[in-house]
Chain A
Amino acid sequence: MKKTPRTPVRELAPSYRITNFEEVSLGYNGEEAMLEASRCLECKKPMCVDGCPVSISIPNFIHHIKAGDFKSAAEVIAQASALPAVCGRVCPQETQCEGRCILGVKQEPVSIGKLERFIGDWSRENDITPETTITPNGLKVAVIGSGPAGLACAGDLARMGYEVTIFEALHKPGGVLEYGIPSFRLPKETVVRHEIGNIVKMGVKIENNVVIGRTLTIDQLFNEEAFNAVFIGSGAGLPKFMGIPGENLNGVQSSNEFLTRTNLMEAHHDDTDTPLKLGKVVAVIGGGNVAMDAARTARRLGAEVHIVYRRSKAELPARAEEVHHAVEEGIIFDILTNPIEIIGHESGWVKSLKCVKMELGEPDASGRRAPQVIAGSEFTLDVETVIMALGTSPNPLITSTTKGLELNRRRCILIEEETGRTSRDGVYAGGDAVTGAATVILAMGAGRKAAKAIDQFLKNQAIE
């Protein structure tokens, strides 16, 4: 078998991109996509599909790209995914579809994500929206949260004829796609708002500035607003802190605060009102996608940025592409390093970060090698801003105001795996609110699964 290298994707040069928020990866054009598609073996038993949480018929859509029939490729993807331009950009492909691609055994796997993104972008640029004729069935479903779980659920239900209203706490829809993931990775105006626009075109109503649990409760949605079913896609927005001394000093913030100020509020633009304060040297604690996003955002605002991570580079949970881009952009990786205290100036602003060096011990139950402190390795890093990117958990606002909604030990909403059904009749849930912080594609898949189950539930109810 001849080894053909992966078709490279065009990218902005690191020196240019750290001066702005333009999208780093430029994606394939038609020619490049067809070239990359030609590498796919169209396996009879495609391993890649097993790796995709929503089982996109990968060889099938790639087959159409090979032939230059992008419209058919779009139709194949649309059967399984509502957000190809998003997932093609943000899925951790190396652990999902591409991680299983047979080509990956001997050479580089097919660039499935980039191909999917190309089809998503092509559909948008050519104004291809999947055709649907909707026959209203007179039933109302409320969707809480406008992240990928809520959007996918709402889109599917609208297509089936339900009258869907999404209630969103913030003033813009999109969830993490809008407030979390920066535009240099996921353009807002073109990609996110376009995908949301498609869902609105199908008749879904989005009501912003409505906080369920405060403005309205789930009980009121049923009793006063006459909804027949409710889907909860409220995400996992509650930020974690480390619990080390000095964490409430001025200049310490959660990644959610920093990214919300820059993405949702566009605080870095001169013409917006939300203030943003960032020191010249910034430490970002953590090693996931969120940490990379915060670090690369801070870099673009002109800071020297350190990623402080307690395991080794191989264990960084972020997408490989993000780590690669971060390195190119000059982010300094202080790996095997754990902060133990934040030290402040007399003024109460951050002065430095006290850390210890770590080494990896024997693999633990999960197979990961647990980091251990190296005795006597204490040192301090002079920084002005500390950003905590340690992960998030579900916000208790809804669950604490809804009777009879059962939670698991991690305070996530308990559901029946196959349907998304919660312990409350007519209430379904999915996405990060159920799993804890996970991925866009899993949230979207959960939203779609719940849409199917809600349809079943309401049809059965009608028969009874």
Chain B
Amino acid sequence: MFKILKKEYLTSGIFLMDVEAPKVAKAAEPGQFLIVRVDEKGERIPLTICDYDKVAGTVTIVVQVVGLSTQLMDQLKVGDYFKSVAGPLGMPSELKEMSVEELHSKKIVFIAGGVGTAPVYAQVKWLHEQGIKADVIIGAKNASQLILVEAMRKVSGNIYIATDDGSAGFKGLVTNCLEDLVTNQHKQYDLAITIGPMIMMKFLSELTRKLNLKTIASLNTLMVDGTGMCGACRVTVGGVTRFACVEGPEFDAHQVNFDEAMRRQTMYRTEERSQNALTPDHICRLDKIVERRNK
């Protein structure tokens, strides 16, 4: 169980994996995530389910290497195993609740940032299977950081690329790109769905509020159990505390307190560690990789 069947690098720091997890694959729906542990000592890491094959019993994850656990994952090869994979977790995408007629009547635009392109792909592909073509804006720092552009092209309507340096597509941020589409090119949308870095989703939702465009954001909060037991994932939505792992991860973006969510997300970031913390585990976090690699 939980064997890695395929591994492919999409950029130098982002890889895709197909993992054997028949129970998860069987129940998976767009918008949900899973939790993996690399080994016996590993932490519980939430990752979006980017694709699934119910017949083969596999799920696809796309991982960006950022810190200890994602680096340990990066070292796993085809044929290796995850210690555990639990899921699917979270609520399926709101799209799943709409009837096909309702979906057909809507003009939908997705706004993806960085590794968030992968989970967006899952939803766009699902819509495509229902006979619906959604527009997609993909943002990245530069051309070399773009992922899944060709795959996306096959299942989407119009596709727009935005890079910070203009090395591909539109020069600027995804927000500039969307604003341009709506105000200058008079595109009309009824629903926006955004997945990407918290800061991007924040500014995007500020823009869509102005544009009066309903927006759903998928939040990558801190998580421990992913089953509603610890509250590490809590976010304020419409003034109410919600648990992203069971009530989310998707919420009405215009109701989300992004400033709080961004602040909470940095809680365990090494460089943000308070001077006074009793547990200075930034000292050993890097050593661990070396140690584990030697095993």
Query: Which of the segments B98-106, B156-164, B278-286 contacts the partner chain?
Result: B278-286
Residues 263-295 of chain B: 1 if any A CB is under 8 Å from the residue's CB, otherwise 0?
Answer: 110111000011011110100110010010000
**Which B-chain residue is minimally distant from A171 (CB atoms)?**
B84
Most chain B C-beta atoms within 10 Å of own C-beta, residue among A247, A274, A279, A384: A274
Within 8 A of B (CB), among A206-260: 208-211, 214-216, 237-239, 241, 247-248, 250-251, 253-254, 256-257, 260
A171's partner among B32, B37, B229, B234 (CB-CB below 8 A) is B37
Residues 221-249 of chain B: 1 if any A CB is under 8 Å from the residue's CB, otherwise 0?
Answer: 00011011111101010000100001000
Inter-chain contacts of A215 with B (CB < 8 A): 23-24, 27, 86-88
CB A98 to nearest CB in B, in angstroms, measures 32
Inter-chain contacts of B225 with A (CB < 8 A): 169-170, 260
Residues 46-74 of chain B: 1 if any A CB is under 8 Å from the residue's CB, otherwise 0?
Answer: 00000000000000000000001100100
Q: Tell me whether A237 and B227 are in contact (CB under 8 A).
A: yes
CB A301 to nearest CB in B, in angstroms, measures 6
Residues 145-187 of chain A: 1 if any B CB is under 8 Å from the residue's CB, otherwise 0?
Answer: 0000000000000000000000001110000000100000000
In the complex, A279 Cα to B276 Cα: how many Å?
Answer: 6
For residue A261, CB closer than 8 A to chain B, the reply is: yes
**Which B-chain residue is minimally distant from A272 (CB atoms)?**
B41
For residue B89, CB closer than 8 A to chain A, the reply is: yes
Given A211-B89, A214-B27, A214-B87, A241–B230 Cβ distance below 8 Å?
Answer: no
CB A464 to nearest CB in B, in angstroms, measures 33
For residue B42, CB closer than 8 A to chain A, the reply is: yes
Q: Tell me whether B278 and A301 are in contact (CB under 8 A).
A: yes
**Which B-chain residue is minimally distant from A350 (CB atoms)?**
B274
B43's partner among A179, A241, A265, A397 (CB-CB below 8 A) is A265
In the complex, A253 Cα to B268 Cα: how many Å?
Answer: 13
CB B116 to nearest CB in A, in angstroms, measures 22
Within 8 A of A (CB), among B146-201: none
B229's partner among A209, A238, A241, A247 (CB-CB below 8 A) is A238
Within 8 A of B (CB), among A7-63: none
Inter-chain contacts of A349 with B (CB < 8 A): 274
CB A89 to nearest CB in B, in angstroms, measures 23
Inter-chain contacts of B38 with A (CB < 8 A): 273
Given A215-B87, A277-B267, A301–B37 Cβ distance below 8 Å?
Answer: no
Q: Tell me whether A268 and B279 are in contact (CB under 8 A).
A: yes
In the complex, A397 Cα to B24 Cα: how many Å?
Answer: 17
CB B33 to nearest CB in A, in angstroms, measures 11
Interface of A is mostly: loop
CB B24 to nearest CB in A, in angstroms, measures 7
In the complex, A216 Cα to B267 Cα: how many Å?
Answer: 33
In the complex, A278 Cα to B68 Cα: how many Å?
Answer: 20
Most chain A C-beta atoms within 10 Å of own C-beta, residue among B38, B41, B227: B227
A397's partner among B23, B68, B228 (CB-CB below 8 A) is B228
For residue A402, CB closer than 8 A to chain B, the reply is: no
Within 8 A of B (CB), among A306-332: none
Q: Tell me whether B281 and A276 are in contact (CB under 8 A).
A: yes
For residue B260, CB closer than 8 A to chain A, the reply is: yes
For residue A404, CB closer than 8 A to chain B, the reply is: no
For residue B108, CB closer than 8 A to chain A, the reply is: no
**Which B-chain residue is minimally distant from A243 (CB atoms)?**
B241
Inter-chain contacts of B236 with A (CB < 8 A): 248
A302's partner among B32, B231, B278 (CB-CB below 8 A) is B278
Inter-chain contacts of B202 with A (CB < 8 A): none
Inter-chain contacts of B230 with A (CB < 8 A): 239, 253-254, 256-257, 260
Given A171-B84, A241-B241, A271–B41 Cβ distance below 8 Å?
Answer: yes
Inter-chain contacts of B41 with A (CB < 8 A): 266, 271-273
Inter-chain contacts of B227 with A (CB < 8 A): 169-170, 211, 237, 395, 397
CB B72 to nearest CB in A, in angstroms, measures 7
Q: Tell me whether B229 and A277 are in contact (CB under 8 A).
A: no
For residue A403, CB closer than 8 A to chain B, the reply is: no
Inter-chain contacts of B133 with A (CB < 8 A): none
Inter-chain contacts of A302 with B (CB < 8 A): 278
A279's partner among B87, B267, B274 (CB-CB below 8 A) is B274
Inter-chain contacts of A216 with B (CB < 8 A): 23, 27
A257's partner among B23, B83, B231, B285 (CB-CB below 8 A) is B231
A248's partner among B68, B69, B234 (CB-CB below 8 A) is B234
Given A215-B24, A250-B264, A301-B279, A273–B241 Cβ distance below 8 Å?
Answer: no
Inter-chain contacts of A237 with B (CB < 8 A): 227-229
For residue A275, CB closer than 8 A to chain B, the reply is: yes
Q: Tell me whether A395 and B228 are in contact (CB under 8 A).
A: yes
Within 8 A of B (CB), among A275-295: 275-280
Q: Tell me whether B288 and A271 are in contact (CB under 8 A).
A: yes
Inter-chain contacts of B224 with A (CB < 8 A): 257, 260-261, 265, 274
Q: Tell me whether B86 and A171 are in contact (CB under 8 A).
A: yes
CB B217 to nearest CB in A, in angstroms, measures 17
**Which A-chain residue is minimally distant from B23 (CB atoms)?**
A215
A214's partner among B88, B231, B232, B273 (CB-CB below 8 A) is B88
Given A260-B225, A275-B281, A247–B276 Cβ distance below 8 Å?
Answer: no
Inter-chain contacts of A197 with B (CB < 8 A): none
For residue A348, CB closer than 8 A to chain B, the reply is: yes
For residue A303, CB closer than 8 A to chain B, the reply is: yes
For residue A364, CB closer than 8 A to chain B, the reply is: no
For residue A131, CB closer than 8 A to chain B, the reply is: no
Most chain A C-beta atoms within 10 Å of own C-beta, residue among B88, B264, B274: B274
Inter-chain contacts of B120 with A (CB < 8 A): none
Q: Tell me whether B229 and A260 are in contact (CB under 8 A).
A: yes
For residue A416, CB closer than 8 A to chain B, the reply is: no
For residue A270, CB closer than 8 A to chain B, the reply is: yes
CB A295 to nearest CB in B, in angstroms, measures 15
Inter-chain contacts of A301 with B (CB < 8 A): 278-279
Q: Tell me whether A280 and B278 are in contact (CB under 8 A).
A: yes
For residue B44, CB closer than 8 A to chain A, the reply is: yes
Which residues from chain B sit less than 8 Å from chain A, CB to CB? 23-24, 27, 32, 37-38, 41-44, 68-69, 72, 83-89, 224-225, 227-232, 234, 236, 241, 246, 260, 263-264, 266-268, 273-274, 276-279, 281, 284-285, 288, 291
Which residues from chain A sit less than 8 Å from chain B, CB to CB? 169-171, 179, 208-211, 214-216, 237-239, 241, 247-248, 250-251, 253-254, 256-257, 260-261, 265-268, 270-280, 301-303, 347-349, 384, 395-397
Mind listing 7 A-B residue pairs with CB under 8 Å? A241-B234, A254-B230, A273-B43, A276-B279, A277-B274, A277-B277, A301-B279
- Please name 12 further chain A to chain B contacts, defined as beta carbons within 8 Å, in addition to the given A256-B229, A273-B69, sorted by A numbering: A169-B225, A171-B83, A210-B23, A241-B234, A248-B236, A265-B43, A272-B41, A272-B42, A277-B277, A278-B277, A278-B279, A395-B227
Closest 8 CB pairs of A and B: A257-B230, A209-B86, A274-B43, A237-B229, A348-B263, A273-B43, A254-B231, A272-B41
